[in-house]
Amino acid sequence: MTDIILCLLTAVLYTLSFPKFDWGWLAWFSLVPFLIFLRKNTPMKRTLILSWACGLAGSLGTLYWIYPTCRTAHVNPIGSVFVTLALSLYMSLYWIGFAYALRKLGQNGPSPDRYDPLLAAALWTVLEWIRSHILTGFPWNLMGYTQYSHPALIQISSWTGVYGVSFLIVLGNALGVALLSKRNDLKQTLRFHRMSVAAFIGLLLLNLLLNLGSFSSGREPVTVSILQGNIDQYKKWDDNYEREIVNTYTRLALDAAQKNPDLIIWPETAVPGWIPGDTRYLEWLKGLCRQTGTHMLVGAPSQQDGNEYNAVFFLSPDGVILDQYRKMHLVPFGERIPFKPILARFFPVLNELGEFDSSKDWTVFRAPWGKFGVNICFEAGFPGIVRGFVKRGAEVTINMTNDGWYLTTAGPYQHFATNIFRAVETRTYVVRAANTGFSTIIAPDGRIRTISSLMREETIDGEIVPSSRRTFYTLFGDAFTGMCAVFLGLSVWLRRKMKSPSGSVV
């Protein structure tokens, strides 16, 4: 019974650590009960079953919003439950993998201390990286994202990416458990775990030093206006509401123009028609550009060369399309069906427009004031995509999204949190335009300059400063997770060597 309580407690703490609960401080203790359970001499089968249950409960607690999202897309209740449960079951596999590998490493170690906190942190970090890449990747709710509202604790992301913050949190949990288990001989325990203690203190100090740094580029500020139309998801592609949508964005654009911004930014697929093929909407956009005398960045579906794209168009003040970006990483089941020959008969695409095609665009837009990169919706969750644009010259990052699917669940909060880390990782301003919120401007240190309300029609105005600086993470990517993987590999090799009676590798 104690084992069940420990695993259930971790599932609850883990859930409460993430948005929308926003008790991020709980993350620093959330794994403690689970790690205490893993230190016990529980039979492996029971360990894996309870680890699976713990991961499933925590995943359901944080991903419950999948159900109302599916229902919003007219998926029947049974199908919505199935999708929510299937994704949560998939996520729980990583908890099983973590428990199994950590137990094996502990059993093969030279110490009766069961496991090294550094191993636990490195293992968790590598598993997060794998989850972010395998099967197209699902980088949602990485442990580091629990700290999105605490900029002072996430500055190491400019070196390690969000994975470094996850590493620090898990290291803190594991180190705390190791110290508590030997509290009667704390001095000896500290000496035995001196590498873990040094790593934890070192990363905290690095955070402190990075907080003292200046991220000013010395460039002139650029004024932007974000249009948050708050168009109901059921109205977006209903011809009966076409005029309402057009009137809403016309009004918002004209209101924004009164402040004479350098750039007006629309949300993802804000135009209720295909660009550039639908001349009615193209002429509407051109007319708005001329009326406002402003560059515009507009999200719209696009049909080109026999393909259909989720696209972004950059228009000049006289209405000329200067450049475009077509989404590269599509949302599984939202914009395309993965493993289509097998799954298409069971799962329809959730998007009303049907399936989109992916592109290979790495468009870096050029404006009179500088260069910027755009990512669409789900792409904000992939550090490599945002980093890729900055590495190619982008000086500002813009995320355009819908988020109307999520209603007022935890979904829009969790999606928004990823953008905080993209700002810190690349040290660029991040501008986010969302149909229903949250639209925001984030500074290179991860601090929010301005933010909209959720499910409200608004215009958000603010200043950004382009920057051509390049962080370690921008230049070298996930080198930190690579170091974690090498550390794990060496640990396995050394443990096998020490366990061999002959002292040789077995």
Give the DSSP per-residue string, 356-403. PPP-----EEEETTEEEEEEEGGGGG-HHHHHHHHHTT-SEEEEEE--
Cβ within 8 Å of residue 78, ≥6 positions away:
none
Q: What is the chain's mean pLDDT, rounded? A: 91
Give the residue-averaged pLDDT of 86-92: 96
Residue 502: pLDDT over 80: no
Give the torsion sign (CA, 156, 394, 374, 130): negative
Give the residue-averaged pLDDT of 33-41: 92
Mark whether 141 and 289 lie in a shared domain.
Answer: no
Residues 95, 350: Cα–Cα separation, whole Å: 29
Tokens of 164: 């470094």
Lowest average pLDDT, out of 73-82, 189-198, 258-267, 338-347, goes to 338-347
Which domain does 443 fall in, by range?
Answer: 222-465
Residues 163, 189: Cα–Cα separation, whole Å: 27
DSSP-assigned beta bridge partners for residue 426: none
Find where tokens 């699976």 sit: 52
pLDDT band at 505 (very low <50, low <70, confident <90, very high): very low
Mark whether 362 and 226 lie in a shared domain.
Answer: yes
| Residue 325: per-residue pLDDT | 98
Asked whether residue 505 is domain-assigned, the answer is: no
Residues 78, 465: Cα–Cα separation, whole Å: 48
| Residue 352: per-residue pLDDT | 58
Mark whether 147 and 167 lie in a shared domain.
Answer: yes
Q: Using only C-alpha atoms, what is the Rg of the chain?
A: 24
| Residue 174: per-residue pLDDT | 95
Asked whether residue 364 is domain-assigned, the answer is: yes
Lowest average pLDDT, out of 68-77, 94-103, 285-294, 407-416, goes to 68-77
Mark whether 255 and 146 lie in a shared domain.
Answer: no
Mark whether 147 and 192 lie in a shared domain.
Answer: yes
What sections of 380-471 are H helices per DSSP?
383-391, 411-426
Mark whether 234 and 176 lie in a shared domain.
Answer: no
Q: Are 177 and 36 in contact (CB under 8 A)?
A: yes
Which are the catalytic amino acids? 268, 327, 377
For residue 286, give the 3-state DSSP assignment.
helix
DSSP-assigned beta bridge partners for residue 365: 372
Lowest average pLDDT, out of 223-227, 344-348, 495-499, goes to 344-348
Q: 117-139 burial by CB neighbour count: b if 16+ within 10 A, else e?
A: bbbbbbbbbbbbbebbeeeebbb
Asked whether residue 350 is domain-assigned, the answer is: yes
Number of structural domains, the chain? 2
Q: What is the pLDDT of residues 110-146, one digit of tens each?
A: 444 557 899 999 999 999 999 999 988 999 999 999 9
Tokens of 55: 């991961």
Q: What is the pLDDT of residues 101-119, one digit of tens each?
A: 998 887 655 444 557 899 9
Cβ within 8 Å of residue 382, ≥6 positions away:
132, 137, 139, 329, 375
| Residue 346: per-residue pLDDT | 58
Residue 457: pLDDT over 60: yes
Asked whether residue 318 is domain-assigned, the answer is: yes
Q: What is the pLDDT of residues 221-251, one digit of tens each?
A: 999 999 999 998 878 777 788 999 999 999 9
Asked whether residue 472 is domain-assigned, the answer is: no
Residue 501: pLDDT over 60: no
Mark whether 196 and 292 lie in a shared domain.
Answer: no
Mark whether 167 and 234 lie in a shared domain.
Answer: no
Mark whether 170 and 304 lie in a shared domain.
Answer: no
Q: Are 64 and 123 in contact (CB under 8 A)?
A: no
| Residue 497: per-residue pLDDT | 74
Which is higher by pLDDT, 79 or 20? 20
Residue 10: pLDDT over 80: yes
* Percent with pLDDT over 90 in the chain: 77
Mark whether 59 and 159 lie in a shared domain.
Answer: yes
Asked whether residue 138 is domain-assigned, the answer is: yes
Residues 379, 305: Cα–Cα separation, whole Å: 23
Residues 30, 447: Cα–Cα separation, whole Å: 25
Q: For the chain, give the number of residues.
A: 506
Q: pTM, whole model, 2 decimals? A: 0.94
Q: How far is CA 116 from CA 77, 158, 484, in A?
A: 45, 26, 13
- Strand 370-376: give its sheet, edge to edge: 364-367, 370-376, 396-401, 429-434, 440-442, 448-451
Mark whether 156 and 264 lie in a shared domain.
Answer: no
Mark whether 63 and 96 lie in a shared domain.
Answer: yes
| Residue 504: per-residue pLDDT | 35
Asked whether residue 471 is domain-assigned, the answer is: no
Q: What is the CATH number of the domain that holds 228?
A: 3.60.110.10
